[in-house]
């Protein structure tokens, strides 16, 4: 793995503390997942996120909740109706999802993965609470590594190739430029193709220029990019471009879920949501 690849990945992890505290605030996780830094960051940024919401309409906290709950809903359906018994959450950060779903589904095997420093912290947290076992594990990964011990191939070598698998990434893909992102998806699709069923769940924020508050939203998104110490790319114009991109990367079936057009109960925004949850299946 090149030094450049490592540099490009590192800037994402600090935002995990902020989102981890949001989950805790809304009773989606246990106290162990709420760090002191997350509490400090949330308190410090509250006036700024309020200003962004008032000026642009971008309600960061409700968007984070929409994202998390919609991904949970699609994962739950894949387990209950699709026979999924092994899950990989890449860029797991301080996500409580592995803990919650292992409690809910006793037969589920859950593998969390992140960059080495974040994975070490997550492993220590789960171990300290007595939550790590043969069903729930944490490993190191770098989505930009094309080979070696941090690559997807190394991570997937731990899985049972005779059973379906679902991979989930949350709060990850919009931080990367297009070439790096589609390279990751291509490698991921190749790995998933080796299973009887391979599903990938993630979220995107397309560049919806027809959105009634596009200019204000674009400003708010730029602020988010600065807060997370990196760029925040809106790679695709619409759902057709999203579907085409995933198919180009090797996925055979692609569904785009819009929070405004689904039946499950989610926090609502005072304008059309820009969030899209993608459910892609490997060939």
Mind giving me the DSSP string for 202-264? EEE----TTSTTHHHHHHHHHHHHHHTTS------SSHHHHHHHHHHTTEEEEEEE-GGG-SS
Higher pLDDT, 41 or 24: 24
Q: What are phi and psi of 16, to 5 degrees?
A: -60, -30
Q: Kindly report the length of the chain.
A: 283
Angle between helices 239-248 and 178-192 (to 10 degrees): 60
pLDDT for the residue numbered 27:
94
**What is the dihedral sign for C-alpha 185, 259, 91, 79?**
negative
Can you give the pLDDT at residue 10? 43
**Which domains does the chain possess?**
3-282 (3.40.50.150)
pLDDT at residue 32 greater than cutoff 80 = yes
Q: pLDDT at position 57, please?
A: 65
pLDDT for 263 equals: 85
Start-to-end Cα distance in the chain: 28
All residues at 6 or more sequence positions from 142 whose CB lies less than 8 Å from its CB, including other chains: 1, 5, 6, 9, 115, 150, 151
Helix (H) or strand (E) segment spanning residue 197:
none
The proportion of the chain whose per-residue pLDDT surpasses 90, expressed as a percent, equals 62
Mean pLDDT check: name the lowest of 27-31, 136-140, 232-236, 243-247.
232-236
Q: What is the pLDDT of residue 108?
A: 98
**pLDDT tens track for 173-189:** 888 899 999 999 999 99
Q: Which residues contact 231 (CB under 8 A, 6 or more apart)?
A: 175, 177, 225
Mean pLDDT estimate for the chain: 87
pTM beyond cutoff 0.95 = no
User: Which residues sit opposite 113 in a β-bridge?
Assistant: 90, 139
Q: Which of 65-79, 149-163, 214-228, 244-258 is predicted least confidently?
A: 214-228
pLDDT band at 42 (very low <50, low <70, confident <90, very high): confident
| Residues 27, 222: Cα–Cα separation, whole Å | 29
**pLDDT tens digits for range 55-90:** 666 778 888 899 999 999 999 999 999 999 999 999
Break the chain down into helix, strand, coil percent, rounded to 5. Answer: 50, 15, 35
What is the 3-state secondary structure of 107-168? CCEEEEEECHHHHHHHHHHHHHCCCCCCCEEEEECCCCCCCCCCCHHHHHCCCCCCCCEEEE
Residue 12 has a pLDDT of 42
pLDDT for residue 193? 97
Pairing relation of β-strands 165-169 and 276-282? unpaired
pLDDT of residue 1: 35
């Amino acid at each position: 793995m090149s030094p450049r690849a490592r540099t490009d990945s590192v800037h994402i992890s600090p935002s995990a503390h902020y989102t981890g505290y949001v989950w805790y605030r809304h009773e989606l996780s246990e106290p162990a997942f709420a760090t002191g830094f997350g509490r400090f960051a949330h308190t410090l940024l509250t006036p700024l996120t309020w200003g962004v919401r008032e000026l642009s309409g971008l309600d960061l906290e409700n968007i984070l909740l929409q994202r998390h709950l919609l991904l949970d809903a699609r994962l739950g359906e894949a387990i209950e109706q699709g026979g999924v018994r092994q899950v990989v959450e890449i860029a797991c950060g301080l996500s409580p999802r592995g803990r919650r779903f292992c409690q809910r589904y006793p037969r589920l095997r859950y593998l969390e993965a992140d960059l080495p420093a974040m994975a070490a912290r997550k492993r220590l947290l789960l171990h300290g609470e007595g939550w790590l076992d043969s069903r729930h594990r944490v490993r190191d990964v770098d989505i930009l590594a094309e080979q070696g011990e941090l690559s997807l191939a190394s991570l997937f070598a731990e899985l049972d190739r005779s059973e379906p698998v679902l991979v989930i990434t949350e709060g990850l893909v919009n931080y990367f430029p297009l070439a790096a992102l589609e390279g990751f998806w291509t490698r991921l699709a190749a790995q998933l193709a080796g299973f009887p069923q391979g599903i990938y769940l993630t979220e995107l924020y397309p560049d919806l220029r027809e959105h009634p508050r596009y200019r204000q939203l674009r400003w708010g998104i730029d602020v988010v990019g600065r807060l997370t110490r990196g760029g925040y790319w809106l790679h695709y114009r619409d759902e057709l471009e999203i579907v085409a991109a995933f198919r180009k990367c090797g996925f055979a079936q692609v569904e785009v879920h819009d929070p405004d057009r689904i039946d499950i109960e989610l926090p609502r925004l005072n304008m059309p949501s820009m969030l899209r949850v993608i459910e892609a299946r490997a060939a």
